[in-house]
A and B are shown apart, each in its own frame.
Chain A
Amino acid sequence: MRLKLVLELLDVPGQLLDALNPIGRLGANIVAVIHQRDVKTERGTIPVQITIEGDKDTLNEVLNLIEETGIGIMEVDGILRKEKITTIMLGNIIDQDLKDTVNQLNKIDGVMVADLDLKMSDHPEKSASRIVIEAEQGRRKEVLTKIKDIGNLKGFLVINEV
Protein backbone atom coordinates (compact mmCIF):
# COMPACT_ATOMS: atom_id res chain seq x y z
CA MET A 1 0.00 0.00 0.00
CA ARG A 2 0.90 3.61 -0.50
CA LEU A 3 0.93 6.36 2.05
CA LYS A 4 1.17 10.07 1.43
CA LEU A 5 2.84 11.95 4.25
CA VAL A 6 3.52 15.58 4.93
CA LEU A 7 6.51 15.91 7.25
CA GLU A 8 7.60 19.03 9.00
CA LEU A 9 11.33 19.69 8.74
CA LEU A 10 13.55 22.32 10.25
CA ASP A 11 15.24 24.54 7.69
CA VAL A 12 18.73 23.17 8.38
CA PRO A 13 21.02 20.98 6.25
CA GLY A 14 20.67 17.25 6.75
CA GLN A 15 17.05 17.25 7.93
CA LEU A 16 15.63 15.71 4.76
CA LEU A 17 18.22 12.96 4.83
CA ASP A 18 17.40 12.18 8.49
CA ALA A 19 13.76 11.86 7.54
CA LEU A 20 14.35 9.61 4.54
CA ASN A 21 16.89 7.30 6.17
CA PRO A 22 14.53 5.18 8.29
CA ILE A 23 12.24 4.60 5.32
CA GLY A 24 14.84 2.80 3.26
CA ARG A 25 16.28 1.07 6.28
CA LEU A 26 12.96 -0.58 7.15
CA GLY A 27 12.38 -1.75 3.58
CA ALA A 28 9.77 0.72 2.41
CA ASN A 29 10.01 2.33 -1.02
CA ILE A 30 10.07 6.04 -1.56
CA VAL A 31 7.78 6.85 -4.48
CA ALA A 32 7.99 10.63 -4.47
CA VAL A 33 9.46 13.50 -2.52
CA ILE A 34 8.30 17.06 -2.98
CA HIS A 35 10.52 19.50 -1.18
CA GLN A 36 10.07 23.23 -1.64
CA ARG A 37 12.18 25.32 0.63
CA ASP A 38 10.25 28.53 0.01
CA VAL A 39 6.95 27.22 1.43
CA LYS A 40 6.97 27.58 5.19
CA THR A 41 4.66 26.89 8.06
CA GLU A 42 3.63 29.29 10.80
CA ARG A 43 6.71 28.33 12.80
CA GLY A 44 9.15 28.60 9.93
CA THR A 45 9.44 24.86 9.34
CA ILE A 46 9.24 23.35 5.87
CA PRO A 47 6.47 20.93 4.91
CA VAL A 48 7.78 18.07 2.77
CA GLN A 49 5.46 15.72 0.94
CA ILE A 50 6.64 12.14 0.77
CA THR A 51 4.88 9.17 -0.78
CA ILE A 52 6.05 5.77 0.45
CA GLU A 53 5.11 2.22 -0.46
CA GLY A 54 5.29 -0.99 1.51
CA ASP A 55 3.18 -3.41 3.53
CA LYS A 56 1.04 -2.10 6.32
CA ASP A 57 3.27 -3.17 9.22
CA THR A 58 6.38 -1.72 7.64
CA LEU A 59 4.65 1.59 7.00
CA ASN A 60 3.48 1.77 10.59
CA GLU A 61 7.01 1.13 11.78
CA VAL A 62 8.25 3.87 9.48
CA LEU A 63 5.76 6.36 10.97
CA ASN A 64 6.84 5.48 14.49
CA LEU A 65 10.52 5.74 13.68
CA ILE A 66 10.13 9.11 11.97
CA GLU A 67 8.33 10.46 15.02
CA GLU A 68 10.97 9.01 17.33
CA THR A 69 13.68 10.95 15.51
CA GLY A 70 11.76 14.10 16.43
CA ILE A 71 10.40 14.94 12.99
CA GLY A 72 6.77 16.05 13.03
CA ILE A 73 4.20 14.38 10.80
CA MET A 74 1.61 16.96 9.76
CA GLU A 75 -0.58 14.89 7.48
CA VAL A 76 -1.16 11.23 6.69
CA ASP A 77 -3.08 10.55 3.47
CA GLY A 78 -4.63 13.99 3.48
CA ILE A 79 -5.75 13.76 7.09
CA LEU A 80 -4.29 16.42 9.30
CA ARG A 81 -2.61 15.22 12.43
CA LYS A 82 -2.51 18.71 13.86
CA GLU A 83 -4.83 21.60 13.44
CA LYS A 84 -4.30 25.29 13.68
CA ILE A 85 -6.41 27.30 16.09
CA THR A 86 -6.34 31.08 16.00
CA THR A 87 -7.46 33.17 18.91
CA ILE A 88 -7.32 36.83 19.83
CA MET A 89 -6.92 38.08 23.37
CA LEU A 90 -7.71 41.65 24.33
CA GLY A 91 -6.57 43.31 27.52
CA ASN A 92 -3.48 44.23 29.43
CA ILE A 93 -1.40 41.50 27.79
CA ILE A 94 2.01 42.66 29.01
CA ASP A 95 1.09 43.40 32.63
CA GLN A 96 -0.54 40.00 32.84
CA ASP A 97 2.78 38.31 32.03
CA LEU A 98 2.80 37.29 28.41
CA LYS A 99 5.33 34.53 29.03
CA ASP A 100 3.08 32.99 31.63
CA THR A 101 0.11 33.08 29.23
CA VAL A 102 2.11 31.23 26.59
CA ASN A 103 3.38 28.74 29.17
CA GLN A 104 -0.10 28.04 30.38
CA LEU A 105 -1.27 27.41 26.85
CA ASN A 106 1.70 25.13 26.16
CA LYS A 107 0.88 23.16 29.29
CA ILE A 108 -2.43 22.01 27.76
CA ASP A 109 -1.84 18.44 26.62
CA GLY A 110 -0.96 18.19 22.92
CA VAL A 111 -0.95 21.94 22.41
CA MET A 112 1.79 24.25 21.25
CA VAL A 113 1.81 27.99 20.65
CA ALA A 114 3.07 28.37 17.07
CA ASP A 115 2.83 32.08 16.50
CA LEU A 116 2.19 35.20 18.47
CA ASP A 117 1.48 38.68 17.22
CA LEU A 118 1.09 41.71 19.46
CA LYS A 119 -0.47 45.06 18.77
CA MET A 120 -0.01 47.63 21.48
CA SER A 121 -2.55 50.36 22.02
CA ASP A 122 -2.13 53.84 23.52
CA HIS A 123 -4.12 52.41 26.38
CA PRO A 124 -2.19 49.36 27.62
CA GLU A 125 -5.39 47.74 28.87
CA LYS A 126 -6.65 47.69 25.30
CA SER A 127 -3.73 45.83 23.74
CA ALA A 128 -4.41 42.89 21.52
CA SER A 129 -2.55 39.70 20.78
CA ARG A 130 -3.20 37.08 18.18
CA ILE A 131 -2.09 33.62 19.16
CA VAL A 132 -1.88 30.72 16.75
CA ILE A 133 -1.93 27.34 18.40
CA GLU A 134 -1.26 23.92 16.99
CA ALA A 135 -3.27 21.21 18.60
CA GLU A 136 -3.77 17.52 18.03
CA GLN A 137 -6.58 16.84 15.61
CA GLY A 138 -10.06 16.52 17.10
CA ARG A 139 -9.42 18.45 20.28
CA ARG A 140 -10.52 21.88 19.07
CA LYS A 141 -13.49 22.28 21.36
CA GLU A 142 -11.61 21.27 24.48
CA VAL A 143 -8.66 23.53 23.60
CA LEU A 144 -10.95 26.50 22.90
CA THR A 145 -12.60 26.13 26.30
CA LYS A 146 -9.23 26.00 28.03
CA ILE A 147 -8.02 29.09 26.18
CA LYS A 148 -11.12 30.91 27.33
CA ASP A 149 -10.55 29.87 30.94
CA ILE A 150 -6.97 31.11 30.87
CA GLY A 151 -8.11 34.41 29.32
CA ASN A 152 -10.91 34.88 31.81
CA LEU A 153 -8.55 34.29 34.70
CA LYS A 154 -6.35 37.11 33.48
CA GLY A 155 -9.24 39.42 32.69
CA PHE A 156 -8.84 39.21 28.91
CA LEU A 157 -11.61 39.29 26.36
CA VAL A 158 -11.03 36.10 24.39
CA ILE A 159 -12.20 36.04 20.78
CA ASN A 160 -12.20 32.43 19.59
CA GLU A 161 -13.00 31.01 16.21
CA VAL A 162 -16.58 29.96 15.49
Chain B
Amino acid sequence: MKVCIVGFGSVGQGVARVMEMKKDELQKEYGLDLELVAALDRSGAAINPEGLDIKQLLVTKKLTGKVSEYPEYGEEGVSGLEVLMDKVEYHCLIEVTPTNIEDGEPALSHILKAMKDGKDVVTSNKGPLALKFKEIAQAARDNGVQFKYEASVGGAMPIINFAHENLSASKIESIYGILNGTTNYILSRMVKEGSSYEQTLNEAQAMGIAETDPTQDVEGEDAACKVVILANSILKMDVTYDDVEVTGISQITPESIALAKKEGYLIKLIGEVSPESLEVSPRLVKEGSPFAVEGTLNVATLKTDLADDVTVVGKGAGSIETASAILSDLISIWKTK
Protein backbone atom coordinates (compact mmCIF):
# COMPACT_ATOMS: atom_id res chain seq x y z
CA MET B 1 0.00 0.00 0.00
CA LYS B 2 1.54 3.30 -1.09
CA VAL B 3 1.17 6.20 1.34
CA CYS B 4 1.92 9.94 1.38
CA ILE B 5 2.73 11.75 4.61
CA VAL B 6 1.71 15.39 4.36
CA GLY B 7 3.24 17.31 7.26
CA PHE B 8 6.59 16.10 8.53
CA GLY B 9 6.73 17.52 12.05
CA SER B 10 6.75 15.48 15.23
CA VAL B 11 3.76 13.30 14.29
CA GLY B 12 4.77 12.87 10.61
CA GLN B 13 8.27 11.76 11.58
CA GLY B 14 6.79 9.47 14.20
CA VAL B 15 4.65 7.78 11.55
CA ALA B 16 7.71 7.27 9.31
CA ARG B 17 9.61 5.88 12.27
CA VAL B 18 6.94 3.35 13.28
CA MET B 19 6.53 2.28 9.63
CA GLU B 20 10.22 1.45 9.63
CA MET B 21 10.16 -0.14 13.11
CA LYS B 22 7.21 -2.40 12.32
CA LYS B 23 8.08 -3.17 8.71
CA ASP B 24 8.74 -6.89 9.20
CA GLU B 25 5.84 -7.44 11.58
CA LEU B 26 3.35 -5.74 9.28
CA GLN B 27 4.53 -7.93 6.43
CA LYS B 28 4.39 -11.09 8.50
CA GLU B 29 1.16 -10.44 10.43
CA TYR B 30 -0.97 -8.78 7.81
CA GLY B 31 0.89 -9.17 4.54
CA LEU B 32 1.01 -5.40 4.50
CA ASP B 33 3.88 -3.72 2.72
CA LEU B 34 3.68 -0.01 3.47
CA GLU B 35 5.57 2.06 0.97
CA LEU B 36 6.20 5.74 1.65
CA VAL B 37 6.12 7.38 -1.78
CA ALA B 38 6.00 11.02 -0.71
CA ALA B 39 6.69 13.12 2.35
CA LEU B 40 6.00 16.83 2.56
CA ASP B 41 6.84 19.67 4.89
CA ARG B 42 6.95 23.46 4.63
CA SER B 43 10.11 23.28 2.50
CA GLY B 44 8.67 21.07 -0.22
CA ALA B 45 8.63 17.35 -0.82
CA ALA B 46 10.56 14.15 -1.25
CA ILE B 47 8.89 12.00 -3.89
CA ASN B 48 9.84 8.58 -5.17
CA PRO B 49 7.17 6.42 -6.82
CA GLU B 50 9.31 3.36 -5.98
CA GLY B 51 9.33 4.24 -2.28
CA LEU B 52 11.54 6.52 -0.20
CA ASP B 53 14.26 5.22 2.10
CA ILE B 54 12.74 6.13 5.48
CA LYS B 55 16.04 6.10 7.37
CA GLN B 56 17.57 8.44 4.84
CA LEU B 57 14.50 10.67 4.97
CA LEU B 58 14.59 10.95 8.76
CA VAL B 59 18.30 11.72 8.75
CA THR B 60 17.85 14.37 6.05
CA LYS B 61 15.04 15.99 8.03
CA LYS B 62 17.09 15.92 11.21
CA LEU B 63 20.21 17.42 9.65
CA THR B 64 18.67 20.04 7.37
CA GLY B 65 15.18 20.47 8.73
CA LYS B 66 13.84 19.97 5.20
CA VAL B 67 12.52 16.91 3.39
CA SER B 68 13.19 18.72 0.11
CA GLU B 69 16.93 18.18 0.76
CA TYR B 70 16.40 14.42 0.28
CA PRO B 71 19.04 13.32 -2.22
CA GLU B 72 17.94 12.96 -5.82
CA TYR B 73 14.18 12.88 -5.11
CA GLY B 74 13.83 16.13 -3.10
CA GLU B 75 11.79 18.92 -4.63
CA GLU B 76 11.85 22.40 -3.15
CA GLY B 77 8.76 24.60 -2.90
CA VAL B 78 6.05 22.20 -4.06
CA SER B 79 2.80 22.32 -2.07
CA GLY B 80 0.73 19.48 -0.70
CA LEU B 81 -2.04 19.98 -3.22
CA GLU B 82 0.39 19.96 -6.14
CA VAL B 83 1.82 16.64 -5.03
CA LEU B 84 -1.57 15.06 -4.40
CA MET B 85 -2.80 16.37 -7.74
CA ASP B 86 -0.60 14.57 -10.17
CA LYS B 87 2.93 14.10 -8.93
CA VAL B 88 2.64 10.65 -7.48
CA GLU B 89 0.48 7.54 -7.44
CA TYR B 90 -0.66 6.56 -3.92
CA HIS B 91 -3.46 4.74 -2.04
CA CYS B 92 -3.72 6.49 1.26
CA LEU B 93 -3.08 10.03 2.48
CA ILE B 94 -1.70 10.55 5.97
CA GLU B 95 -2.61 14.15 6.81
CA VAL B 96 -0.58 15.35 9.79
CA THR B 97 -0.02 19.07 9.20
CA PRO B 98 -0.40 21.34 12.27
CA THR B 99 -3.94 21.92 13.51
CA ASN B 100 -5.52 25.15 12.36
CA ILE B 101 -8.81 25.92 14.07
CA GLU B 102 -9.49 29.10 12.10
CA ASP B 103 -10.33 27.48 8.78
CA GLY B 104 -8.85 23.98 8.97
CA GLU B 105 -6.45 24.66 6.10
CA PRO B 106 -4.40 23.43 4.39
CA ALA B 107 -5.47 20.05 5.79
CA LEU B 108 -9.11 20.42 4.75
CA SER B 109 -8.18 20.90 1.07
CA HIS B 110 -5.70 18.01 1.23
CA ILE B 111 -8.28 15.64 2.68
CA LEU B 112 -11.08 16.60 0.28
CA LYS B 113 -8.75 16.44 -2.72
CA ALA B 114 -7.54 12.95 -1.79
CA MET B 115 -11.08 11.71 -1.24
CA LYS B 116 -12.22 13.13 -4.54
CA ASP B 117 -9.47 11.13 -6.20
CA GLY B 118 -10.71 7.98 -4.47
CA LYS B 119 -7.93 7.75 -1.88
CA ASP B 120 -8.36 6.66 1.73
CA VAL B 121 -7.40 9.21 4.38
CA VAL B 122 -5.90 8.87 7.87
CA THR B 123 -5.40 11.99 9.95
CA SER B 124 -4.55 13.30 13.41
CA ASN B 125 -5.50 16.83 12.39
CA LYS B 126 -8.26 18.27 14.56
CA GLY B 127 -8.91 21.47 12.62
CA PRO B 128 -10.86 20.11 9.65
CA LEU B 129 -12.70 17.64 11.89
CA ALA B 130 -13.79 20.28 14.38
CA LEU B 131 -14.97 22.66 11.65
CA LYS B 132 -16.22 20.51 8.76
CA PHE B 133 -16.87 17.05 10.11
CA LYS B 134 -20.12 16.53 8.24
CA GLU B 135 -18.69 17.68 4.94
CA ILE B 136 -15.66 15.39 5.20
CA ALA B 137 -17.69 12.37 6.29
CA GLN B 138 -20.04 12.98 3.37
CA ALA B 139 -17.13 13.29 0.93
CA ALA B 140 -15.78 9.95 2.18
CA ARG B 141 -19.16 8.29 1.62
CA ASP B 142 -19.69 9.90 -1.77
CA ASN B 143 -16.32 8.71 -3.01
CA GLY B 144 -16.45 5.31 -1.36
CA VAL B 145 -13.22 5.83 0.56
CA GLN B 146 -12.25 5.19 4.15
CA PHE B 147 -11.66 7.99 6.60
CA LYS B 148 -9.90 7.28 9.90
CA TYR B 149 -8.95 9.75 12.61
CA GLU B 150 -8.28 7.82 15.81
CA ALA B 151 -5.14 9.87 16.52
CA SER B 152 -7.07 13.16 16.55
CA VAL B 153 -8.49 12.50 20.03
CA GLY B 154 -6.35 11.36 22.94
CA GLY B 155 -3.26 10.37 20.93
CA ALA B 156 -2.62 6.74 21.78
CA MET B 157 -5.70 6.42 24.02
CA PRO B 158 -8.17 4.27 22.09
CA ILE B 159 -11.57 5.91 21.88
CA ILE B 160 -13.06 6.48 18.43
CA ASN B 161 -12.55 3.07 16.86
CA PHE B 162 -13.06 1.56 20.31
CA ALA B 163 -16.50 3.14 20.59
CA HIS B 164 -17.45 2.26 17.01
CA GLU B 165 -16.26 -1.32 17.16
CA ASN B 166 -15.96 -2.70 20.68
CA LEU B 167 -18.96 -0.79 22.02
CA SER B 168 -21.06 -1.05 18.87
CA ALA B 169 -23.84 -2.91 20.71
CA SER B 170 -24.33 -0.08 23.18
CA LYS B 171 -25.69 3.39 22.73
CA ILE B 172 -23.17 5.89 24.00
CA GLU B 173 -25.05 8.49 25.99
CA SER B 174 -22.26 10.79 27.09
CA ILE B 175 -18.50 11.08 27.36
CA TYR B 176 -16.53 12.86 30.07
CA GLY B 177 -12.79 13.09 29.81
CA ILE B 178 -9.45 14.74 30.26
CA LEU B 179 -8.61 15.36 26.63
CA ASN B 180 -5.54 17.55 26.87
CA GLY B 181 -2.23 16.34 28.27
CA THR B 182 -0.56 19.73 28.68
CA THR B 183 -3.23 21.14 30.99
CA ASN B 184 -3.37 17.90 32.94
CA TYR B 185 0.37 18.12 33.46
CA ILE B 186 0.12 21.73 34.67
CA LEU B 187 -2.78 21.03 37.05
CA SER B 188 -1.11 17.89 38.43
CA ARG B 189 2.09 19.82 39.11
CA MET B 190 0.16 22.65 40.78
CA VAL B 191 -1.38 20.11 43.17
CA LYS B 192 1.96 18.53 43.99
CA GLU B 193 4.10 21.65 44.27
CA GLY B 194 1.54 24.22 45.36
CA SER B 195 3.02 26.43 42.65
CA SER B 196 1.25 29.20 40.75
CA TYR B 197 -0.23 28.74 37.30
CA GLU B 198 2.38 31.02 35.68
CA GLN B 199 5.33 29.25 37.31
CA THR B 200 4.03 25.84 36.34
CA LEU B 201 3.33 26.89 32.78
CA ASN B 202 6.92 28.16 32.50
CA GLU B 203 8.21 24.85 33.79
CA ALA B 204 6.04 22.93 31.30
CA GLN B 205 7.33 25.14 28.48
CA ALA B 206 10.94 24.55 29.54
CA MET B 207 10.29 20.81 29.41
CA GLY B 208 8.72 21.01 25.96
CA ILE B 209 5.34 19.84 27.29
CA ALA B 210 3.69 23.20 26.66
CA GLU B 211 4.26 25.15 23.48
CA THR B 212 5.75 28.66 23.33
CA ASP B 213 2.27 29.91 22.55
CA PRO B 214 0.25 27.70 24.87
CA THR B 215 -3.14 29.28 24.06
CA GLN B 216 -4.68 26.30 22.24
CA ASP B 217 -3.94 24.05 25.19
CA VAL B 218 -4.45 26.20 28.29
CA GLU B 219 -7.53 28.04 27.04
CA GLY B 220 -9.24 24.73 26.32
CA GLU B 221 -9.39 25.15 22.54
CA ASP B 222 -7.61 21.88 21.82
CA ALA B 223 -9.90 19.97 24.18
CA ALA B 224 -12.93 21.71 22.64
CA CYS B 225 -11.92 20.44 19.17
CA LYS B 226 -11.85 16.93 20.58
CA VAL B 227 -15.25 17.41 22.19
CA VAL B 228 -16.63 18.33 18.75
CA ILE B 229 -15.02 15.29 17.12
CA LEU B 230 -16.42 12.93 19.77
CA ALA B 231 -19.87 14.53 19.59
CA ASN B 232 -20.05 14.16 15.81
CA SER B 233 -18.35 10.83 15.48
CA ILE B 234 -19.59 8.88 18.51
CA LEU B 235 -22.76 10.62 19.68
CA LYS B 236 -23.86 11.24 16.07
CA MET B 237 -24.56 14.90 16.74
CA ASP B 238 -24.16 17.60 14.14
CA VAL B 239 -22.10 20.27 15.87
CA THR B 240 -19.12 22.47 15.27
CA TYR B 241 -16.47 24.27 17.33
CA ASP B 242 -18.69 27.26 18.11
CA ASP B 243 -21.23 25.03 19.84
CA VAL B 244 -18.80 24.28 22.67
CA GLU B 245 -18.74 26.37 25.85
CA VAL B 246 -15.04 26.74 26.63
CA THR B 247 -13.25 27.83 29.83
CA GLY B 248 -9.53 27.21 30.19
CA ILE B 249 -7.27 26.79 33.20
CA SER B 250 -5.40 30.11 33.22
CA GLN B 251 -7.54 31.48 36.07
CA ILE B 252 -6.90 28.53 38.36
CA THR B 253 -5.06 29.59 41.51
CA PRO B 254 -3.08 27.58 44.10
CA GLU B 255 -5.69 28.68 46.65
CA SER B 256 -8.51 27.00 44.76
CA ILE B 257 -6.47 23.83 44.35
CA ALA B 258 -5.72 23.80 48.08
CA LEU B 259 -9.40 24.26 48.95
CA ALA B 260 -10.40 21.43 46.63
CA LYS B 261 -7.75 19.16 48.08
CA LYS B 262 -8.94 19.76 51.64
CA GLU B 263 -12.23 18.14 50.67
CA GLY B 264 -10.61 15.29 48.70
CA TYR B 265 -11.02 16.82 45.27
CA LEU B 266 -8.70 17.66 42.39
CA ILE B 267 -9.28 20.29 39.73
CA LYS B 268 -9.08 18.93 36.17
CA LEU B 269 -9.90 20.36 32.77
CA ILE B 270 -12.83 18.19 31.73
CA GLY B 271 -14.47 17.86 28.34
CA GLU B 272 -18.16 16.99 28.53
CA VAL B 273 -19.94 15.52 25.52
CA SER B 274 -23.66 14.92 25.93
CA PRO B 275 -26.78 15.83 23.99
CA GLU B 276 -27.58 18.44 26.65
CA SER B 277 -24.18 20.03 26.89
CA LEU B 278 -20.88 20.45 25.07
CA GLU B 279 -18.43 21.95 27.47
CA VAL B 280 -14.77 22.26 28.36
CA SER B 281 -14.20 23.64 31.85
CA PRO B 282 -12.25 23.14 35.05
CA ARG B 283 -14.20 20.69 37.22
CA LEU B 284 -13.82 18.98 40.57
CA VAL B 285 -13.04 15.27 40.47
CA LYS B 286 -12.68 12.97 43.48
CA GLU B 287 -9.18 11.85 44.41
CA GLY B 288 -9.00 8.14 43.64
CA SER B 289 -11.63 8.35 40.90
CA PRO B 290 -10.83 7.30 37.30
CA PHE B 291 -10.31 10.98 36.43
CA ALA B 292 -7.53 11.41 38.99
CA VAL B 293 -4.76 10.65 36.47
CA GLU B 294 -1.52 12.60 36.59
CA GLY B 295 1.02 13.96 34.15
CA THR B 296 0.19 14.18 30.47
CA LEU B 297 -2.22 11.22 30.58
CA ASN B 298 -5.64 11.44 28.96
CA VAL B 299 -8.71 9.63 30.23
CA ALA B 300 -12.29 9.29 29.06
CA THR B 301 -15.37 7.66 30.53
CA LEU B 302 -18.06 6.63 28.08
CA LYS B 303 -21.50 6.25 29.61
CA THR B 304 -23.45 3.60 27.74
CA ASP B 305 -26.88 2.00 27.97
CA LEU B 306 -25.80 -1.65 28.00
CA ALA B 307 -22.19 -1.68 29.14
CA ASP B 308 -22.63 1.00 31.83
CA ASP B 309 -19.48 3.12 32.29
CA VAL B 310 -16.35 2.23 30.34
CA THR B 311 -13.13 4.15 31.01
CA VAL B 312 -10.04 4.34 28.81
CA VAL B 313 -6.67 5.86 29.73
CA GLY B 314 -3.57 6.49 27.65
CA LYS B 315 -0.84 8.82 26.52
CA GLY B 316 -2.50 11.83 24.96
CA ALA B 317 0.48 13.09 23.02
CA GLY B 318 3.97 12.18 21.87
CA SER B 319 5.39 11.46 18.48
CA ILE B 320 5.49 7.65 18.60
CA GLU B 321 2.32 7.32 20.71
CA THR B 322 0.26 9.36 18.26
CA ALA B 323 1.87 7.56 15.33
CA SER B 324 0.79 4.24 16.85
CA ALA B 325 -2.85 5.27 16.45
CA ILE B 326 -2.22 6.30 12.85
CA LEU B 327 -0.51 3.00 12.06
CA SER B 328 -3.46 1.11 13.58
CA ASP B 329 -5.80 3.06 11.30
CA LEU B 330 -3.64 2.11 8.30
CA ILE B 331 -3.77 -1.54 9.29
CA SER B 332 -7.54 -1.50 9.68
CA ILE B 333 -7.89 0.09 6.23
CA TRP B 334 -5.60 -2.58 4.82
CA LYS B 335 -7.66 -5.35 6.40
CA THR B 336 -10.73 -4.31 4.41
CA LYS B 337 -8.87 -4.36 1.11
Interface residues of A (CB under 8 A from B): 86-88, 90, 117, 119-121, 126-130, 132, 157, 159-162
Contacts and interface: CB of A to CB of B under 8 A. Distances in A.
Contacts of A126: 251, 253, 255
Nearest to A122: B255
A128 B284 CA distance: 14
Given A159-B283, A161-B283, A162-B176, A128 B259 contact: yes
Given A130-B262, A130-B263, A90 B256 contact: yes
A86 B282 contact: no
B291 interface: yes
Contacts of B281: 159
B270 interface: yes
Given A157-B247, A159-B282, A162-B285, A132 B263 contact: yes
Contacts of B283: 159-162
28 contacts: A88-B256, A88-B284, A90-B253, A117-B259, A117-B262, A119-B256, A119-B258, A119-B259, A121-B253, A126-B253, A126-B255, A127-B255, A129-B259, A130-B262, A132-B263, A157-B247, A157-B251, A159-B267, A159-B281, A159-B283, A161-B265, A161-B283, A161-B284, A161-B285, A162-B176, A162-B270, A162-B272, A162-B283
A87 to B, nearest CB: 7
Contacts of B255: 119-121, 126-128
A77 B258 CA distance: 35
Interface string B234-260: 000000000000010001110110111
Interface of B: 176, 247, 251-253, 255-256, 258-260, 262-263, 265, 267, 270, 272, 281-285, 291
A119 B252 CA distance: 13
B75 to A, nearest CB: 51
B179 to A, nearest CB: 13
A157 B285 CA distance: 16
Nearest to B270: A162
Given A128-B253, A128-B256, A162-B270, A157 B263 contact: no
A159 B253 contact: no
A129 B256 CA distance: 7
Contacts of A129: 259
Considering the complex of A and B, which 5 residue pairs feature the smallest CB-CB distances, nearest first?
Answer: A128-B256, A119-B255, A130-B259, A128-B255, A161-B284
Contact of A157 (B259, B270, B282): B282
Given A157-B282, A159-B284, A162-B270, A86 B263 contact: yes
A159 B263 CA distance: 14
Contacts of B270: 162
Contact of B256 (A86, A159, A161): A159
A88 B291 contact: no
A160 B267 CA distance: 9
